[in-house]
Structure 1
């Protein structure tokens, strides 16, 4: 199993998919407890939800599960949300704060996983962003995520449907944030927040350097928007998904259309 799957397109938009993989190496699977082997914190079916929405898009997808190592965490282990409950580079608990390991990895093993999984994913993502920027003068990274809408360990109440993250406006041009927010807000029946509980993970914060021509924005979707229910067996609801794919298509197409105005040459 390769740690990263790449589909190259010729457009200015790159989709990052760090949390849709479910592959666990056998030695790691056996060290998880029963709860951990349930893989509840997967971004279930997100690669299917976004498939085919934008012609010419590039996708970079981690094939390994986030319990192996989280491709959207700082490789140094520094917390993205100091003072708040979260999960780390190699999670020791799930999103409910429950232990997931019978035999947790030590520092040496975490470093080995970083080199074997985290680093190749980000090397591939950086290479694709550079390739796209070389072609268009700009690259727009749209990082695709989803999460259960109610997780008391992480946040109070019910999460909005669209959670847009730009690290408080620093990871992309203001026009990008505004365009995505406007499309979400105009989508009837859905709720929206910008830089709420989720402000963009390490991927968005690391690559989002508008001054270099690489813009990044994260979309965290409430799983209630496209799953039959937010629990096992995590079934994809085709009717819900079809409805949600309409505004997602508008978002991605708008980003692609904006690229020349943001300094690109396409």
Structure 2
């Protein structure tokens, strides 16, 4: 088993990927980074805790151990910008969301180092996703991939103002069927705000693996950290989290029901 991620098997045709939940930085990489970078402030905090109900529902999960600062598992290794014209972080980010440098002077990863990280961290994670989805597709008529993310409600680098609470994306209709996105759109998420294909339409994982015509439906949720944390700190707010988890579970149940339904 590859030690760069944790894959938990399920009993239904659904997988939850949490590509930005990891917080570790290998010592050899950490030695080239700033002190602030080592605190990994742009982590999708507590995704594993928010979705801890998934295992009891028979849903498989995959979670990396290493930080997005090592390599961003939700980026295309070709370097293509997922949001042309928008300010985005790289495959191996060199700046934090607040534009502060992640590396000491002259220590940013060169091409050889980027390729090493692709081989050691990116490829194993994606191979595990591909293999898991292929195995599921052998067993089930429909498979659903949820790519689970979270982000601060205010990040001027990426969007103006305050982000909606639930940000669903299916690559403008390309990564999952209209029937599924209609079911998601019909959910009563009040008192939380929601949007479909707003600022976040789905990253590389959603776009690469979502093949609804092949029976694999992918959707991304970018959850505002305001819904479960004491922003702008990285502190988990138990009361807020328990409230939003009710709605999260409704959403995940909707996806699981879709996966289990016969067409």
The TM-score, its normalising length taken from structure 2, stands at 0.95
Retained in 1: the 8 A contact 2:164–2:193? yes
> Do 2:25 and 2:38's aligned partners in 1 also have CA atoms closer than 8 Å?
no
Q: Could you say which residue in structure 2 is the equivalent of 1:39?
A: 40
Q: Deviation of residue 227 (structure 1)?
A: 0.6
After TM superposition, list the pairs within 5 Å mapping 1:69-80 onto structure 2.
69-80=71-82
| Structure 1: distance between partners of 2:231 and 2:156 | 17
Per-residue Cα deviation, 1:172-203 (whole angstroms, up to 9, x for no partner): 011111112221xx222211111111110000
What displacement does 1:35 show? Answer: 2.2
For 1:193, the equivalent position in structure 2 comes to 195
The separation in 1 between residues aligned to 2:250 and 2:135, in whole angstroms, is 24
User: Could you tell me how far apart the structure 2 residues matched to 1:181 and 1:98 are?
Assistant: 37
**Correspondences of 1:226-237 after superposition (within 5 Å):** 226-231=228-233, 234-237=234-237
209-218 or 48-57: bigger deviation: 48-57
Residue 256 (structure 1) aligned with residue 256 (structure 2): yes
1:129 has 2:133 as partner: yes
Q: Secondary structure at the match of 1:34?
A: coil
Alpha-carbon contact 1:4-1:124 (below 8 Å) kept: no
Q: Which residue of 1 aligns with 2:184?
A: 180
- Please, which runs of 5 or more residues in structure 2 have no aligned partner? none
Instruction: Provide the TM-score with structure 1 as the length reference.
Output: 0.94
Between the aligned partners of 1:44 and 1:260, the Cα distance in structure 2 is 29
**Aligned match of 1:13:** 14
Q: How does 1:25-64 map to 2 (within 5 A)?
A: 25-53=26-54, 55-64=57-66
How many residues align structurally?
A: 259
Query: Which sections of structure 1, spanning at least 5 residues, go unmatched?
Result: none
Return structure 1 stretches of 4+ with deviation > 4 angstroms: none
Q: Please give the per-residue CA displacement for 1:105-130, whole angstroms capped at 9, x wherever unaligned.
A: 00110001000000000001111111
